[in-house]
Amino acid sequence: MRNINEIADAVRRDERITRDDALTLWHEAPLWLLGELATERKRRASGQNIYYNRNVHLEPTNICLFNCEFCSFRRREGDKDAWYMSLEDIEARAAELKGTDITEVHIVGGVHPKHDLDTYCAMIRRVKRQLPHVTVKAYTAVEIFYMIRHEGISVVEGLRRLKEAGMECIPGGGAEIFDAELRAKICPEKCSAEEWLAVHRAAHNMDIATNCTMLYGHIESIEQRIDHLDRLRKLQDEAPGFDAFIPLKYHSRGNRLSEAGECSTEEDMRTIAISRIFLDNIPHIKAYWVSYGKATTEMALAFGADDIDGTIGDTTKIYSMAGGIERPTMSVEELEAMVTAAGYNPVERDSHYNPVPRRRSAPPAPKEVEEAVVVNNDTKEHTKNKTTMSNTKIEQPKPQTKATVKAEPKPKSTPKSARGSKSAKTQGGFIERVKHFYGRFPIISHMILIALFGLLLLLTLYFGLNIGTRHGNVIKVPSLLGMNIEDARHEAHNKELNIIVRDSIFDVNLPGGTIVDQLPRTSEVRDVTVKPGRKIYVTINAYNRRMVEVPYVAKQTLRQALNQLERSGLTIKELIYEADMTSTDYVLRESVEEHEVTPTSSIKTAVGTGVTLTVSYHRDEQYTTVPRLVGLNLQQAKNSIWDSGLNVGKVVYDESVEDLIARRTTRVYKQSQSLGTSLRRGSEVTLYLTCNMELVDSLAKVADREAKNYEEQRRKALEKQRRAEREESTIVQ
């Protein structure tokens, strides 16, 4: 079993942790360390961004067949506070939302005994009829599993029908805790863990994005929490498709688990942080503000959360009925203020985590919907369809795949009667000539016929196999680096790929909207192929340089100060070392652009600005050792240098680095002083970077050997020192 320091180092190296590691972190890691590690993981996943959206919930009924111990929402038919919305009620509710700027309707409710798959599909269609541009995120896997089993069809067929009705993504509810024993205690009637996972697996394989949740803080053990996370991580490895994980804190009012009480805020933070650290393959961790309240949600941003859900507009009762916020609603301004106060960059997203461009009024229907409608009415004129849509009189628009959108009617072959006499004559002449040739050279003619037949057979086999097995149905991922995001979207759309912006940076030298990184990456030497409809995640250069307040980081350790500055999007200009009687690596003073930063200075500066820190060193600790930098990217190398009490000297790129975009894919292949060299604190280390990964790999192997030797020498030196100390103490005794 690894100790806490080994686990922390593994996380800092961006490595996966085990279930045992997660338990060790839970029981032994101080909260500040969890914050640091989770923030590191969050930074790699989404930089400084915190996401929110403009959404509403639609809870068609609270009448539910199931009677879960933790649920305060559920009512029986006939109960005085039970509600039920007919299809007309649902459509009327959707109609009320027309003209607002919401981008998502999240539908989830009780499993009503009278609802079947058709009713569930009709609900979605009613919403889409009124709000065609809005994404419907609908039904927990528990509801989906119920309706599919009730219908007696396969999960894939059920999902296909929901998708056809307009469901675009699936929320994460109903997961609760997967452990079978505990599930039998708290929600015995719900589908099993395996069934819940099967619904999400099938959805991912059909390219339907989903979320996942965990209901924690009631009667489950920490082992059961980690087991739950492990099952989610395994599914994501096997069939990726989870966009976000949402830890749902149990609320105790009005249900049969009330005696369990509610867990502390510290436990909330530990749960969020460990989820972020453990779930290294799920891009987003959501702190659902409706459940946590505003203050705890803001705190969660320092423990790895990068999403806070949306505006809600007082449309959900699940939490208020369990003792949560009575009328949950937040304006965009409030959400953004919360994020900014925590030192992050608020980003409005759509349901697929694409940033939504800033706007003041309701958005026009996005193009894709217009195109889909065009296809639905493919016998009608394009303009006519547009008019129909703006009048909202279309009958249940069916979303179509992009492949269908692009399909055009095949040109009809010319009718025989229309063929001119000239072509008939030419044809007759050709046949005559063939007959003549056959009469003169029968053997050669037979050989030509056999060759033609063979060629025909080969072509039939090749195309037949490709159609039958779809072996050929893959797309080469284009290189989007350096392209503008709009052009890239256009290119990706033509290739039936989807672009998701997952992060932004700010580089003054590049135009706004330039793509600076992409996943999967492709290059001149390495082609990557994917199936149609797959997502390409990109990082873009932001359009505007954001201003941030410089946090006061003096009177903290250097490590804490570096973390806090990084969280604010700032960097280090210089570390100046000053002798001190008591401590080493303690920040004495801080300045930015010639101004001293004080607890009350409130200086604002652009993201990416360098801050100067004056740091202490104790007389006996004037020297520090150079860390291993080979193999790291520039940011990682800089962090490591500052962490060691050194400064970044020159940054030198070799000839393989052709432009500014290429700089972002470089790694360190050489450092001016090798690992373990003893240097005065504050000295400079020069970094040499390249795009040539073979060179990096071969030099990294040398660096690995050096690191091993260095560790060995250090261990021996320490042993020797301890032995000497022991001997000295025996002599004294």
What number of helices (H) and strands (E) belong to the chain?
A: 24, 25
Please pick, from the candidates 46, 48, 49, 211, the single residue that binds ligand V47 as defined by CB under 6 A: 211
SS3 406: helix
Q: Which amino acid, residue 360?
A: R
For ligand V47, give the closer residue by CB, 139 or 688: 139
Of the ranges 209-217, 537-545, 585-593, 596-604, which one interacts with ligand V47 (CB under 6 A)? Answer: 209-217
Residues 145-184 vs ligand V47: string with x where CB under 6 A?
Answer: --------------------------xxxx-x--------
CB of 58 to ligand V47, least distance (A): 13
In angstroms, give the least distance from the CB of 67 to ligand V47: 12
Between 73 and 642, CB nearer to ligand V47: 73
Residue from 34, 90, 124, 322 binding ligand V47 (CB under 6 A):
322
Nearer to ligand V47, 163 or 183 (CB): 183
List binders of ligand V47 among 442-471 (CB under 6 A): none
Ranked by CB distance to ligand V47, the top (closest) residue is 173
In degrees and rounded to multiples of 5, residue 550 shows phi and psi of: -75, 120
Q: Give the three-state DSSP class for 75.
A: strand
Strand bridging mode 667-671 / 535-541 = unpaired
Q: How many residues of this chain bind ligand V47 (CB under 6 A)?
A: 21
- For ligand V47, the closer of residues 248 and 485 by Cβ is 248
Sole residue written with tokens 């649902």: 90
| E strand or H helix that includes residue 119 | helix 117-130
Query: In whole angstroms, what is the distance from residue 281 CA to residue 235 CA?
Result: 10
Nearer to ligand V47, 48 or 213 (CB): 213
Minimum CB separation from ligand V47 for residue 321, in Å?
A: 8
Is residue 139 a contact point for ligand V47 (CB under 6 A)?
no
Closest separation between CB of residue 110 and ligand V47, Å? Answer: 11
Q: Cα 312 vs. chain centroid, distance in angstroms?
A: 21
Cβ-based nearer residue to ligand V47, 248 or 373: 248
Query: What is the b/e burial string over 567-588, where b = at least 16 CB atoms within 10 angstroms of the residue's CB?
Result: bbbbbbbebebeebeeebbbbe
The rounded radius of gyration (Å) of the Cα atoms in the chain is 31
Nearer to ligand V47, 120 or 586 (CB): 120
Q: Which stretch binds ligand V47 (CB under 6 A): 245-253, 359-367, 440-448, 668-676?
A: 245-253
Looking at 45, 71, 282, 562, which residue binds ligand V47 (CB under 6 A)? 71
- d(C-alpha 115, C-alpha 676), whole Å: 68
Min dist. Cβ of residue 284 to ligand V47 (A): 10
**Cβ contacts of residue 64 below 8 Å, gap of 6+?**
71, 73, 74, 75, 109, 110, 111, 112
Rule CB under 6 A: choose which of 43, 183, 251, 535 binds ligand V47: 251
Residue in 136, 248, 515, 699 binding ligand V47, rule: CB under 6 A: 248
Is 250 a binding residue for ligand V47 by CB under 6 A? The answer is yes
Q: How far apart are CA 406 and CA 518, in angstroms?
A: 26
Question: In 3D, which of 566, 573, 574 has the Cα closest to residue 548?
Answer: 566
Per CB under 6 A, 477 contacts ligand V47? no
Closest CB to ligand V47 among residues 143, 590: 143
Could you give the CA distance from residue 505 to residue 528 in angstroms, rounded to a whole number?
A: 25
Cα separation, 62 vs 65, in Å, equals 10
* Cβ–Cβ under 8 Å, residues 560 and 615: no
Site string for ligand V47, 19-58 (x = CB under 6 A): ----------------------------------------
Nearer to ligand V47, 187 or 661 (CB): 187
d(CA 690, CA 663): 8
Residue type, 266: E
Q: Which CB sits closer to ligand V47, 39 or 255?
A: 255
Inter-CA distances, 732 with 557, 721, 723, 724, Å: 37, 16, 14, 12
Residue in 46, 48, 140, 297 binding ligand V47, rule: CB under 6 A: 140
Examine residue 591 and tell whether it contacts ligand V47 (CB under 6 A): no
Among 127, 136, 141, 318, binds ligand V47 (CB under 6 A): 318
Whose tokens are 């800089």? That residue is 638
Q: What is the DSSP letter of 73?
A: S
60 vs 174 by CB, closer to ligand V47: 174
Longest dimension (CA), the chain: 122
**Whose CA is closest to 250, among 262, 268, 267?**
262
Q: Which is nearer to ligand V47, 321 or 691 (CB)?
A: 321
Question: Among residue numbers 257 through 296, which ones bind ligand V47 (CB under 6 A)?
Answer: 288
Q: Annotate each residue in 346-375 with x if it binds ligand V47 (CB under 6 A) or - if it does not, as one string.
A: ------------------------------
Map residue 688 onto helix, strand or coil.
Answer: strand
Choose between 173 and 569: whose C-beta lies nearer to ligand V47. 173
Ramachandran angles phi, psi of 115, nearest 5°: -85, 130
Q: What is the 3-state secondary structure (H, E, C) of 624-659?
A: EECCCCCCCCHHHHHHHHHHCCCEEEEEEECCCCCC
CB 171 to ligand V47: min, Å = 3
Residue 247 near ligand V47 by CB under 6 A: no
Asked if 60 interacts with ligand V47 (CB under 6 A), we say no
Q: Are 282 and 246 in contact (CB under 8 A)?
A: no
Interacting residues toward ligand V47 by CB under 6 A? 70-72, 140, 171-174, 176, 211, 213, 215, 246, 248, 250-251, 255, 288, 309, 318, 322
